[in-house]
Structure 1
Amino acid sequence: MNERNGSARPDGGKRTDPGRRESAEERADRQWQELMQEIRVAQTGVQILFGFLLTVAFTPHFQALSDTDRAIYIATVVVGSLAAGALIGPVSFHRIVSGRRIKPEAVVWASRLTFTGIVLLLATFTSALLLVLRVATHGMLVPCLVGGVVAWYLLCWFALPLWARERHTDER
């Protein structure tokens, strides 16, 4: 019986995380919902950026881009497409394995796809920023500006979460 609401547990009452008092199935369900919320945020960013990138090639200014800028543009579109694929992947994964009773495994694979998508999104944002700043400024500060923004992304997206995980995770 569940101590919170008195309901029977499908796993016979086995708990995987004593701090949360949830079964393996409940934990997988919760983690899946959390992951889907995270993906919604990242998907929106990559889809909007990717949509704008696709329109650039059809503008008159695109024809005047240097070969280097065109190469950056192509790399940005490709990496953006890969990011979109990785971030949409968990939805497809869930649809294909739904009802197979492998949600804990689906959560692991969806998490891996999401992390890959975030790394690819970092590359997409970086190359898009590089391209825009090169075209807009033609300045020598472009590498410094892009490097600073990338450092900010790395701090916000990876360094701070890793620091918090290390500092605040109990030794169990």
Structure 2
Amino acid sequence: MGDEKGGLPGESERERWNRNFADLLQELRVAQTGVQILFAFLLTLPFSSGFPHTNAFQRVVYLVALISAAFATTHLIAPVAFHRALFRRGRKPELVRYAHRMATTGLAFMLISMVSSVLLITDYLLNRWAALSLTVFIGAWFLTYWVILPYVRRSWIDAEDVAEDREYAEDSPGEQR
């Protein structure tokens, strides 16, 4: 029973929640890998030979990057723990809503960590003005692709997109996405 809530034609409410959860898990896999690599890099950075040469500003930026990476990691992995706690309890809608909020929060912290990491490295390599300018550009780039375009696109529907969506749904009946 496809509906205005995003269901596919012939899809039950339970199938929709299962599909939504499977889609969310796929997205989390990508984000988790990225944040884990960034977090690992940040954890090892103080032990590198150049770190003692950083100034007070760079150390503060490092702490912002490190702590926001830790928060991002927490939020992007939290849906796994929540799933374990709710496993086989018939609470998939609650799980999907919670996981969505955690993933969104995790991505926000990941953005902060990545932009802070760029600022840290560029400030170490370049003068402060160049580092700040480049970091503002990178931050705007992230915001454009992670926030602005998805938000604008939410209500922007092309006839071509609708046709592609219908074709996709018809080509894969019963397929688990």
TM-score (norm 1): 0.86
Q: Which amino acid aligns with 1:82?
A: F
The Cα RMSD (Å) is: 1.6
Pair 1:93-2:82 in alignment: yes
Larger radius of gyration between Structure 1 and Structure 2: 1
Match of 2:126 among 109, 114, 137: 137
Match of 2:72 among 75, 83, 100: 83
What CA deviation, in whole Å up to 9, does each residue of 1:78-132 have, x standing for no partner? 1100000000011111111011100011000000000000000100001000000
Unaligned segments of structure 1, at least 5 residues? 1-14
Aligned residues: 156
Pair 1:115-2:112 in alignment: no
Q: Aligned residue for 2:53?
A: 64
Of structures 1 and 2, the one scoring higher in RCO (CA 8 A, sep 6+) is 2
Unaligned segments of structure 2, at least 5 residues? 159-177
Q: Which amino acid aligns with 2:36?
A: Q
Q: Aligned residue for 1:38?
A: 27
Q: Aligned residue for 1:74?
A: 63
Match of 2:92 among 86, 103, 106: 103
**Cα distance in 1 between the residues matched to 2:140 and 2:92:** 35
Pair 1:20-2:14 in alignment: no
Indicate conservation of the 8 Å contact 2:8/2:16, yes or no: no
TM-score (norm 2): 0.83
Pair 1:161-2:161 in alignment: no
Match of 1:48 among 31, 37, 45: 37
**Cα distance in 2 between the residues matched to 1:126 and 1:20:** 41
What CA deviation, in whole Å up to 9, does each residue of 1:138-166 have, x standing for no partner? 24221111111111111111111111111
Structure 1 runs, 4 residues or longer, greater than 6 Å off: none
Q: Which amino acid aligns with 1:95?
A: R
User: Offset at 1:37?
Assistant: 0.4
